[in-house]
Amino acid sequence: MALFSMCILEEMQWVRTRPVTSAEFFHGALELIDDTLPVFLVKGEDEYRPLDECVERFAQKHTNKLEVFDMKDFVFEGIDDDLRRICAPMIVTSILTDCLATLYSLNIGHDLDSRRYYRQFAY
């Protein structure tokens, strides 16, 4: 999620973001939530899923712009159930950095190749 937030949204799309884990969420980040703030939540299949679900319940009450990517909703053909939690981060990274990044770029009209500072001049 940090790759999507920091590289795609901040660097490539010039959108300010705040990537946090579900474990960190209730230590300050929850104060940023309101009806205008988009929230992307990735629900994993590991031991932290109960925390992800807690964040989801909170966000559902405090923003109308919640997008949940629940890894249990994706079919992993040929992957044993006990390996899903290991493969899920790779799958969600591909979804966010390839599919969602492209759609986001097209939606706001700012291409993924334009940078404000990175490789624009010597520093």
Q: Which pLDDT band holds residue 1 (cuts at 50, 70, 90)?
A: low
Band of pLDDT at residue 97, cut at 50, 70 and 90: confident
Q: What is the pLDDT of residue 32?
A: 85
Q: Is residue 66 one of the residues assigned to a domain?
A: yes
- 8 A C-beta contact, residue 59 and residue 33: yes
Q: What is the mean pLDDT of residues 49-76?
A: 94
Domain-located, residue 61: yes
Q: What is the phi-psi region of residue 116: left when phi exceeds 0, alpha when psi lies from -120 to 50, beta otherwise?
A: alpha
* Average pLDDT of the chain, as a whole number: 88
118 in any annotated domain: no
> At a CB cut-off of 8 Å and minimum separation 6, what does 92 contact?
1, 42, 69, 71
Model confidence at 50, pLDDT cuts 50, 70, 90, reads very high
CATH of the domain at 31: 3.40.50.10490
Please report whether residue 83 resides in a domain. Answer: yes
The predicted model gives 15-35 an average pLDDT of 88
The total number of structural domains that make up the chain: 1
With cut-offs at 50, 70 and 90, classify the pLDDT of residue 62: very high
The pLDDT, as a whole number, for residue 25 is: 92
* Structural domain containing residue 96: 1-108
Classify residue 99 by its DSSP letter: I
